[in-house]
Amino acid sequence: RFPVAFLTLALSQALSAPVASAQAASGWAGDPPSLDSLVGFDRAKSDLRVAVERYAQDRSALLRRWDVPYSPVRRDRMASFYRGWLAGLDATDFDALNREGQADWVLLKSELVFELEVLEQEAREDVEMAPLVPFARALGALQEARRNRMDVDARAAATTLDAAADQVEALTKVLRNRAAVAPTVKMVAAERAARHTDELRRVLRGWYGFYDGYDPIFTWWAAKPYARLDKALEAHVAAVRERYVSAEGPVVGDPIGESGLRAHLSREMIPYSADELIRIAEAEFAWMEEARLSASREMAFGDDRRGALEHVKNLAVEPGQAPAVVRDLERQSVEFIGARDWISIPPLAEEIWRMEMMSPERQLVSPFFLGGEVMQISYPTDDMEQDAKLMSMRGNNPNFSRATVHHELTPGHHLQGFMTSRFNPHRSLFSTPFWGEGWALYWEMILWENDFPRGPEDRMGMLFWRMHRAARIIFSLSFHLERMTPQQAVDFLVDRVGHERANAEAEVRRSFAGDYSPLYQVAYMIGGMQFRALHRELVESGRMSDRAFHDAVMQGGRMPVEMVRARLMGQPLTREFATSWRFAGNVM
């Protein structure tokens, strides 16, 4: 028996039947579900579940309330909030908590420590970009006064707007004069300043709209200064990018450095340094190159791996046929997994997933399929330019998609979302790409090892994605360590992995745009390796069946994979829990 036996309780047919068609012969399978098998789940929930839910809601509410980016007032308020919760955790009787509560205690403390480190990093970033946004404090104070529910002094506000416009216009004039001495700011800090200026425009738009017209005296005073300032801020963003950023190519990022990476790695419970992770990725990349060479020779291309890859790309289906490819590949993967009884796939999960086509604009950032409950299919439209059409088709050919459809749907992201919305949803607070993307990549590993690819073309396609994951570790960590520029990352994907250039630019743009955590691209392969190592420990050792193991992971909720291991293996948890699992063995 395992200490989290409730995770492997038999579920009702509606929730955990093996693979079944969405339309069962007798109607909708499992309608209505039997509730008997769900009895007892509540009693086994974490003692800290309500506390975690309260923290998440309170944090979200505060961030909505204090909505001026990079504001020191917001930083101070959030720091006070996090320290208060840390004090509350420290005062909790850890030993009196049930095991799931202890796991949540460790996870919440890790989250709080990380958030405080993020605030420190934000303060450093604020200082770096300050010379290009000297007007930020005064403008932010206007919104903070509104959020404090203070009456507006229309004449004073207009004076503040007018003075800020003077300041912005003067600085913009300096930036546009190549002969003038401009502030010394790194390119990445300049791009951050440009984005921050855009954010201030958005905040000011809401601030101004709150009073405009509703307070005629305010509009009388502020309308002209506001319009002038808004126009000046827009011009300033363009001037900053023209002076500092435009020569850097199509992608710009913001590296966080070695100390920033250490903080993120600690939060994710990864006991490796950035350099160690790069070496792991390089070793993985090397064996994949050999495997790709083997597939190339089997395809009669000899040592011409690039030629073999080009052949596979050109197997793209005609326009209009991509949805049929997705539908067929999803059926193949579900039937393959179901025949081996590897994991519970609820009939309802099979019933509700849907397909949508991705817009050409979205494909500029996400050139490949995206998934979850809705499979977003990336394929060209009739009004795209010829080169863009070909790159979209070639990059989403059926052999490449053999590794992406099950990754995005079942047993990947769709099944993850389905199960985690029903079991331990409070742990979404601890969501990590090492669990989310790592799980989906783990299934690429498992299916590869069990001969899911049907021939060398499939292997070439699946290897393309495996190499892409290794490449992501190399280029993203090298970028954050300031050893590789975004343009060099694009070239790396084109030259070493075989990406279409436009697709490579989109991938790097997506990686560094700031919408993802700095370790997001690392998490695919490293998280997959974590789950693969845990499978060896628990399943290949005979301690759990495949299905029990996979169901337990899905029902336990989102969290760093080392905590999944601690829970499933019965590892004692303490207040001083620290990451130590060297899942990749010794790294030279």
Residue 31: pLDDT above 80?
no
Contacts of 467 (CB under 8 A, 6+ apart): 285, 288, 289, 292, 496, 497, 498
Q: What is the pTM of this model?
A: 0.85
Most confident of 159-168, 250-259, 305-314: 159-168
Backbone phi, psi, residue 24, to 5°? -70, 155
Q: Can you spell out the DSSP letters for 64-130?
A: HHS--TT-HHHHHHHHHHHHHHHHHHHTS-GGGS-HHHHHHHHHHHHHHHHHHHHHHHHHHHHHHHG
Q: Give tens-digit pLDDT for 335-347.
A: 999 999 999 999 9
Mean pLDDT of the chain: 89
Candidate from 228-232, 253-257, 343-347 with smallest mean pLDDT: 253-257
Higher local confidence (pLDDT), 514 or 288: 288
What's the pLDDT at 173?
97
Rounded mean pLDDT of 212-224? 97
For residues 462 and 448, is the Cβ–Cβ distance under 8 A?
Answer: yes
30, 18, 15: which is closest to 336 by C-alpha? Answer: 18
What's the pLDDT at 14?
40
Report the SS3 class of residue 402.
coil
Structure tokens at 272: 């490796």
Q: Can you spell out the DSSP letters for 22-40?
A: SSBTTBSTTSSPPSGGGTT
Rounded mean pLDDT of 474-496? 90
Query: DSSP class of residue 557?
Result: -
Candidate from 24-33, 196-205, 373-382 with smallest mean pLDDT: 24-33
Query: DSSP class of residue 370?
Result: B
Backbone phi, psi, residue 152, to 5°? -90, 135
In whole angstroms, give the CA distance from residue 207 to residue 102.
Answer: 44
In whole angstroms, give the CA distance from residue 128 to residue 150.
Answer: 31
